[in-house]
Amino acid sequence: MSAAAASAAALSLGACAPRGSSSDTVIRYWGMQAADADKDLKVIDAFNATRAGSRITIDVNQVPSNGVADMSQIITAVRGGTAPDVWQMDRFNAVQNASIGLLEPIDDLIEEYEGVSVEEFTSQWLQFAVDELTYDGRLYGLPINTDARGIMYNEDILRGAGIDLDMFDPQQHVLTWDELREVSRKITTTDSRGNFETLGFVPWDGEGWPYTWAFGLDAQLYSNETASVTLDSPQWRAVFELYADWAEEFPYAKADAFFATYQPPNAPPSQTAIFSERLGMSTTGPFSIRSNEKYAPKLPLKFTWLPVGAEGDETYSWSGGASLVVPKGARMTRNLWEFMKFYTGFEGQSIVQPLLGDLPTNLRTIQARNYNPKAELFRQMLPTSTSRPPLPVGSVAWDTLQRSRSSVIIGSQTPQEAVAINQLSVGPKMALFEGYQMPATYGQNSVIPEA
Instruction: Report the DSSP beta bridge partners of residue 281.
Output: 153
In three-state secondary structure terms, 145 is strand
Distance CA 91, CA 134 (A): 10
pLDDT at 67: 54
pLDDT for residue 140? 98
Q: Whole-angstrom Cα distance, residue 373 to residue 281?
A: 22
Give the predicted TM-score (pTM) of the model.
0.91
Q: Using an 8 Å Cβ cutoff, are 69 and 399 in contact? A: yes
Nearest partner of 91 among 119, 127, 42, 58, judged by Cα: 127
According to the model, what pLDDT value does residue 5 have?
38
Residue 362, sorted as left (phi over 0), alpha (psi -120 to 50) or beta, turns out to be beta
> Which of 200, 201, 179 lies closest to 188, judged by CA?
200
Q: How many Å apart are CA 130 and CA 433, to the nearest integer?
A: 21
Task: State how far the Cα of 437 lies from the Cα of 330, in Å rounded to an integer.
Answer: 27
The CATH number given to 3-147+320-386 is 3.40.190.10
For position 82, what pLDDT does the model report? 81
Q: How far apart are CA 161 and CA 319, in angstroms?
A: 32
Q: Which residues of 75-113 are buried (b: 16+ CB within 10 A; e: fewer)?
A: eebbeeeebbbbbbbbbbbbbbbbbeebbbbbbebbeee
3-147+320-386 matches 150-202+250-318 in fold: yes
Over the chain (451 residues), the average pLDDT of each successive run of 10 is 37 38 76 87 92 77 61 78 90 93 96 96 97 97 98 98 97 98 98 96 98 97 97 98 98 97 93 97 96 96 98 96 94 93 97 92 97 96 96 95 98 98 98 96 87 64
Could you give the angle at which helices 346-356 and 37-49 cross, rounded to 10 degrees? 160
Q: Point out which residues pair with 223 in neighbouring strands.
A: 228
- Closest alpha carbon to 378 in 89, 181, 126, 157: 126
Contact of 358 with 90, CB cutoff 8 Å: no
Domain spanning 150-202+250-318, CATH architecture: 3-Layer(aba) Sandwich (3.40)
Gap between the Cα atoms of 153 and 169, Å rounded = 11
Side-chain-side CA neighbours of residue 90 (13 Å)? 21
DSSP 411-440: TSS-HHHHHHHHHHHHHHHHTTSTT----T
Domain ranges of the chain: 3-147+320-386, 150-202+250-318
CB-based burial, 415-436: b 16+ in 10 Å, e otherwise: beebbbbbbebbeeebeeeeeb
